[in-house]
Amino acid sequence: MSDDVRRNLALFPIGIVQKLTELSARQIRYYEQQGLIQPIRTKGNQRLFSFRDVERLLEIKKLIDQGLNIAGIKKALGPAEKPTDVEDLPKEERLAVEGNRNLTDRDLHELLKKELIAQLERPGRPASLIQGELSRFFR
């Protein structure tokens, strides 16, 4: 599976995203209402976010700190995109951990580790905002 696909997979419920971004659930839901993010919904109507969503939320957080309002953030960031539902992946690419809608702390740790390594090998321009944030989970 490509790194691109992996980062787009909807894997995290709002509770995990709160820890990853240190944003309140209220803020995360509000930013969704404003169209800044578009997490997918499970059959039970619960939101699921991808690594990209987490990165985007970290960017939003940064911009908020810099004093921008919603309008300004919409201009600064590109349009929001929906993460990929794991259910839509061909079963050959659907890994065990990714299929679970109930990630254990160990699973999460493993995913963060992979993403961290992937980022180190990915000369991305937007100087990986997520890097410092994710590193926080490896102390």
Partner DNA sequence: ATTCTAACA
Partner DNA sequence: TGTTAGAA
Binding site for DNA (CB under 7 A): 13-16, 18, 24-27, 29-30, 44-47, 64
How far apart CA 135 and CA 119 sit, in angstroms, is 11
Smallest CA-to-CA distance from 15 within 105, 135, 118 is with: 105
Q: Which is nearer to DNA, 101 or 114 (CB)?
A: 101
Q: Which is nearer to DNA, 29 or 94 (CB)?
A: 29
Nearest distance, CB of residue 2 and DNA, angstroms: 27
Nearest distance, CB of residue 68 and DNA, angstroms: 11
How far apart CA 56 and CA 32 sit, in angstroms, is 11
Nearest distance, CB of residue 122 and DNA, angstroms: 28
Q: Which is nearer to DNA, 24 or 66 (CB)?
A: 24
Helix residue ranges per DSSP H, 34-88? 51-65, 70-76
